[in-house]
Amino acid sequence: MSNPETVAIVMDGNRRWAKKNNLPSASGHRKGIETLINIVKTAKNNSIKRLVVYAFSTENWDRENFEVNALMNLINFGVDVKLEEIKANGIKLTFIGDINNMPEKAKKGISKCIHETKDLREFNLTIALNYGSIWDMVNAANIVADSGQELSQENFIKNTQLGKTDIDIFIRTGGDMRLSNFLLPNIGYSELFFSEKLWPEFNSEDFQEILKEFEVRQRRFGK
């Protein structure tokens, strides 16, 4: 089997980890950032080219206001605290989702990340913010319609947020076994892995175990 190039992760369990440790939910999300940086380094060291992570979904707006605000502030926390480390490791930051409808302060942080890492080539960390697969597919169909083309499988996939990128490995932490409206256009033949560990507890060894299991799976792509 060829080595995986692109891995997607639903980073679930930050709030439950915080509750378990008698901490506010924001502490769980901050700990989740530490875990993410660790996994990015592990992925890079294992010759993976791209990691796509689910940070904030279109459905997350329905959470309580204080938590939504904390998550928005967390974007700028990540920029202020982790951007230099990210740059030092040659990591390019890209974003998918309905970024235009994010709060202005968050958009400024996102723009800074994109601008300061745009020339880095060692690894691509793609962060999904205000993303949902249904939104992604409707948006792609609208782009094709606005262009005056007839909708086809080819131009539909091309205009989704990840385009023709196929996800080799799809990981969800936190114990739930569902896809949660993440990257549905790109995971048709992904290998799925579900971890009982909450995201802040997930570590390099857990990630490498998944890579080992991936090596022995047979991918037939419908053939």
Sheet of strand 50-57: strand arrangement: 91-96, 123-131, 50-57, 6-10, 169-172, 191-194
Give the integer Cα–Cα distance in Å for 171 and 150: 35
The two beta strands, 191-194 and 6-10, are: unpaired
Please work out, in degrees rounded to the nearest 5, the angle formed at the alpha carbon of residue 108 by the alpha carbons of 18 and 90: 75
Q: Is 12 among the residues known to form the active site?
A: yes
Please work out, in degrees rounded to the nearest 5, the angle formed at the alpha carbon of residue 209 by the alpha carbons of 34 and 20: 45
Q: Find, among 74, 77, 59, the residue nearest to 25 by Cα.
A: 74
Catalytic site residue from 38, 60, 76, 89: 60
Q: Rg of the chain's alpha carbons, rounded to an integer?
A: 17
Please give the structure tokens belonging to residue 145.
């319609």
Catalytic site residue from 12, 14, 124, 159: 12
Query: Residue 193 is which amino acid?
Result: F
Q: Is 60 among the residues known to form the active site?
A: yes
Give the integer Cα–Cα distance in Å for 24 and 66: 11
Active site amino acids: 12, 60
